[in-house]
């Protein structure tokens, strides 16, 4: 069993820069957790503190129930895959993978058996005699993973391992990493700034911003029920649209007033939840897939509007359209069969059943 537990973990540099601010996180045995966030959010620092490569300023880190605050990396029984692979350039692939086992004085036969097993899982059996300089980026990444696998560690740590690969290889290696995890079932902490990678790989995603954890949850949970504006905007590609408006009552109906001319009715199922924010400035969050060509205007809580298209981006299976409402840039997704050209006016609909209301002051989703 290798749970990883972080309790009030902080990291400060020079007593002024606080990279990580008292975070709590429980990672279950065999779980694949992805730390995601923009540059400087503290995700890599958190991973390096788990690895023991950074000392923690405050708090406690436990691996498999053992407090590891002062345990050196080599005694934490972890393996790490680095962004730039960090393969030993003077050693063959076999020696790279066997290095950790040799240092731990494993018998030769077992080293060979473990390396062969990892090479089989990663399909690098034919590369064992080569040096890293004779490998492609993808092959190097596999070797780096092999070096981690052979150790049979308690925890795998991945530090943006796919960032140096081209887009096609990245997708391929993403699948490989998932397959490897399904095969070896080792607890994994994976850091990336790519939310697509996070969504596709993780059992649970940890979204970090400014050194704190904004939200932890399964990918679909984060996508559909973000707790903050940051999570709502960070998860999903293209990002969620945010439109500033004011929550007002017109007659008996709770309305979102974008302008004097544009008012959107709040779905009846949400009136109770949103009522306390009456007469507040709020943000409406709506994902691009809920701003579509006019489909079914009779559907409840679907609002029709005309969009003056600024830019269209044909993607094959869909067209992304960019337009403005009340000065705010919005993005919608329409069916590729619909004729949409920049400069044209397109009848569109907004499905408010999927909207999010965000308190403009706190940034919390209501």
Partner 1 sequence: MSGAVATAEPIGRRNWLKPSIARERRWALWASYIVLVFFAIGFLAPPYFELVTALKTSQQIGSGKDPWFTAHPYFGNFIGIITNPDFQTFFLNTVKVTLIVVVLTLAMSILAAYALARMRFFGSHAFATGVFLTYLVPESLLFIPLFKVLSFLHLINSTWCLVLVWPTLSVPFCTWIMIGYFSSIPKELDEAAMIDGASHLQMLWKIFIPVALPGIIAATIFAFTVCWGDFLYPLAYLFTGKQMVLTAGIVSDLIHGDVLDWGHIMAANVVASAPPVIIYAFLMDYYIAGLTAGATKG
CB nearer to partner 1: give 140 or 170.
140
What distance in Å separates the CA atoms of residue 294 and residue 257, rounded to the nearest whole number? 21
CB of 74 to partner 1, least distance (A): 4
**Is 132 an interacting residue with respect to partner 1 (CB under 8 A)?**
yes
CB nearer to partner 1: give 114 or 229.
114
CB nearer to partner 1: give 18 or 83.
83
Positive or negative torsion for Cα 173, 176, 182, 183: negative
**Is 80 an interacting residue with respect to partner 1 (CB under 8 A)?**
yes
Look up residue 178 and give its two tokens.
């998932």
**Is 89 an interacting residue with respect to partner 1 (CB under 8 A)?**
yes
Residue from 30, 57, 59, 82 in contact with partner 1 (CB under 8 A): 82
CB nearer to partner 1: give 87 or 309.
87
**Cβ(287)–Cβ(355) below 8 Å:** no
Look up residue 244 and give its two tokens.
């500033």
Beta strands 356-359 and 281-286 are: antiparallel
Spatial CB neighbours of 326, under 8 Å, sequence gap ≥ 6: 243, 258, 259, 262
**Cβ(366)–Cβ(359) below 8 Å:** yes
**Is 303 an interacting residue with respect to partner 1 (CB under 8 A)?**
no
CB nearer to partner 1: give 72 or 327.
72
Spatial CB neighbours of 347, under 8 Å, sequence gap ≥ 6: 293, 294, 304, 305, 306, 307
Residue 104 to residues 77, 147, 247: CA-CA distances in angstroms?
11, 14, 65
CB nearer to partner 1: give 156 or 323.
156
Residue from 33, 49, 51, 358 in contact with partner 1 (CB under 8 A): 51
Spatial CA neighbour of 190 closest among 44, 3, 66: 44
- DSSP at 263: E
Q: Binding segment for partner 1 among 60-68, 88-96, 260-268, 319-327 (CB under 8 A)? A: 88-96
**Is 53 an interacting residue with respect to partner 1 (CB under 8 A)?**
yes
**Is 251 an interacting residue with respect to partner 1 (CB under 8 A)?**
no
CB of 128 to partner 1, least distance (A): 18
Residue 145 to residues 32, 85, 198: CA-CA distances in angstroms?
15, 9, 18
**Is 14 an interacting residue with respect to partner 1 (CB under 8 A)?**
no
CB nearer to partner 1: give 43 or 140.
140
Residue 150 to residues 134, 140, 159, 290: CA-CA distances in angstroms?
22, 15, 18, 46
CB of 61 to partner 1, least distance (A): 15
Residue from 33, 35, 36, 78 in contact with partner 1 (CB under 8 A): 78
Residue from 2, 6, 20, 85 in contact with partner 1 (CB under 8 A): 85
Residues at the contact surface with partner 1, assessed by CB under 8 A? 51-53, 72-74, 78-80, 82-90, 99-100, 103-104, 132-133, 140, 147, 151
């Amino acid at each position: 069993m290798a749970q990883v537990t972080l309790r009030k973990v902080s990291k400060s540099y020079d007593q002024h820069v606080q990279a990580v601010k008292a975070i709590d996180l429980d990672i279950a045995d065999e779980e694949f957790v992805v730390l995601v966030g923009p540059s400087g959010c503290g995700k890599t620092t958190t991973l390096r503190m788990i690895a023991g490569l950074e000392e923690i300023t405050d708090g406690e880190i436990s691996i498999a129930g053992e407090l590891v605050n002062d345990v050196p990396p080599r005694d934490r029984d972890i393996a790490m895959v680095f962004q730039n692979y960090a393969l030993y350039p003077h050693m063959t692939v076999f020696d790279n993978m066997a290095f950790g086992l040799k240092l731990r004085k494993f018998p030769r036969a077992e080293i060979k058996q473990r390396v062969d097993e990892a090479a089989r899982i990663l399909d690098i059996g034919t590369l064992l005699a080569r040096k890293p300089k004779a490998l492609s980026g993808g092959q190097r990444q596999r070797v780096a993973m092999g070096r981690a696998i052979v150790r049979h560690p308690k925890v795998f740590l991945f530090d943006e391992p796919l960032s140096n690969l081209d887009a096609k290889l990245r997708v391929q290696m993403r699948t490989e990493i998932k397959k490897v995890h399904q095969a070896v079932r080792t607890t994994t902490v994976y850091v990336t700034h790519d939310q697509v990678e996070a969504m596709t790989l993780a059992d649970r995603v940890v979204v970090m911003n400014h050194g704190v954890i904004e939200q932890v949850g399964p990918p679909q949970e984060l996508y559909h029920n973000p707790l903050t504006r940051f999570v709502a905007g960070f998860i999903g590609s293209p990002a969620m649209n945010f439109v500033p408006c004011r929550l007002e009552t017109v007659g008996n109906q709770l309305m979102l007033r974008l302008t004097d001319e544009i008012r959107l009715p709040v779905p009846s199922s949400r009136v109770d939840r949103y009522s306390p924010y009456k007469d507040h400035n709020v943000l409406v969050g709506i994902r691009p897939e809920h701003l579509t060509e006019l489909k079914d205007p009779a559907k409840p809580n679907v609002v029709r509007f005309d969009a003056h298209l600024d830019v269209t981006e044909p993607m094959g299976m869909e067209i992304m359209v960019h337009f403005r409402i009340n000065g705010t840039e919005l993005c919608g997704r329409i069916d590729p069969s619909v004729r949409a050209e920049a400069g044209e006016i397109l009848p569109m609909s907004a499905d408010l059943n999927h909207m999010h209301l965000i308190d403009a002051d706190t940034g919390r989703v209501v």
